[in-house]
Amino acid sequence: MLADLHSHTHYSDGTLSPQALLARARERQVDWLAITDHDSTDALHLLRECPPAQETPRLIAGVELSTLWEGHEIHIVGLGFDIDHPGLQALLLRQQTLRRERMQAMDMNLQKAGHCGLMDYLNTLPCTSLSRNHVADFLIARGIVKSKDQAFKRFLGDRGRIASAAHWCSIGEAVDTLHAAGGLAVMAHPTRYRVGRMQFRRLLGEFAQSGGDGLEVSYSNLDPARMQHLATLCLEYGFWASTGSDFHHPGNQWMDVGRFRHLPGELAERAIWLHPGWPGCSL
């Protein structure tokens, strides 16, 4: 079973349209695909209006919510919810507004540094959920930085020159809203947060206390030893195990659709697609 339960389209910071992402997943023999744009379900609404002709991969509703926990941006992936749920859509709209406001703050900071035109550039994009990734593209296009890495280190990261914090929802609100919409809540890429060992355990404990259902255990660029460690933690905290590439664009061969390790054997019975709340049919 190949379940890629974390991927992005051009409605957030990916580069492919929903149809092109589906075609790529089909080529790469993905059985289940969740499109999990940042704080947006627009790709899913589009695919529901214009359903793909082929039956594979099977599509499950997805979203990646940004939350704030002890000053860190923690990403919670929602799966299998009702995409029309009013409470969820209200939260997404609020988060998208925060994203636009953060871009305006970054634009002001960039103007002070002598670089104009960010908002004009952003307004040409198809996305509904603006992200720092788009600002990185703008900085590269303008020749201000050479790479994404440089853009995040010098400008966009926590200590970057134009960094601007956003007041994302709490983990508790993200989990409650996903549950109210009939979905499951999964912590995305747990090894990518800059927290110490004890703080990480506290994070997992609080996520479990809040009713969090799952943990991403296998994803792109995760080495086997760390995956094994996550598998142990997943069992210890009683989470279900999820898998996903976090695919954004075809140029990054290490983060391609379906490109991650199978779950380790001890999690065979804890795969999130075996959860009683997993939807019985496609989107």
Q: What angle do CA 25, 30, 31 make, to 5 degrees?
A: 130
Phi, psi of 3 (to 5 degrees): -115, 110
Out of ligand AMP, Mn ion, none, which partner does residue 149 contact, by CB within 5 to 8 A per kind?
ligand AMP
Residue of this chain nearest to Mn ion (CB atom): 75
- Is 189 a residue that touches ligand AMP (CB under 6 A)? no
Q: Which of 9, 131, 218, 220 binds ligand AMP (CB under 6 A)?
A: 131
Which strand ranges, in their side-by-side order, compose the sheet holding 32-34?
3-4, 32-34, 58-60
Contact (Cβ atoms closer than 8 angstroms) between residue 5 and residue 31: no
- Is 13 a residue that touches ligand AMP (CB under 6 A)? yes
Q: What angle do CA 166, 206, 214 make, to 5 degrees?
A: 90
The string of DSSP letters for 221-244 reads T--HHHHHHHHHHHHHTTPEEEEE
Cα 159 to chain centroid, rounded: 22
- Is 6 a residue that touches ligand AMP (CB under 6 A)? no
Site string for Mn ion, 56-85 (x = CB under 5 A): --------x----------x----------
- Is 132 a residue that touches ligand AMP (CB under 6 A)? yes
| Contact stretch for ligand AMP (CB under 6 A) within 41-49, 112-120, 145-153, 220-228 | 145-153
Question: How far are the Cα atoms of 82, 106, 127, 239 from residue 130, in angstroms, in the given order?
Answer: 23, 12, 7, 31
- What is the enclosing helix (H) or strand (E) of 59? strand 58-60
Q: At closest approach, how far in Å is the CB of 131 from ligand AMP?
A: 3
How many residues sit close enough to ligand AMP to count as binding (CB under 6 A)?
Answer: 11
Q: At closest approach, how far in Å is the CB of 31 from ligand AMP?
A: 25
Q: Which residues bind ligand AMP (CB under 6 A)?
A: 13, 38, 66, 73, 131-133, 148-149, 152, 248
Q: Which residues bind Mn ion (CB under 5 A)?
A: 13, 64, 75, 188, 246
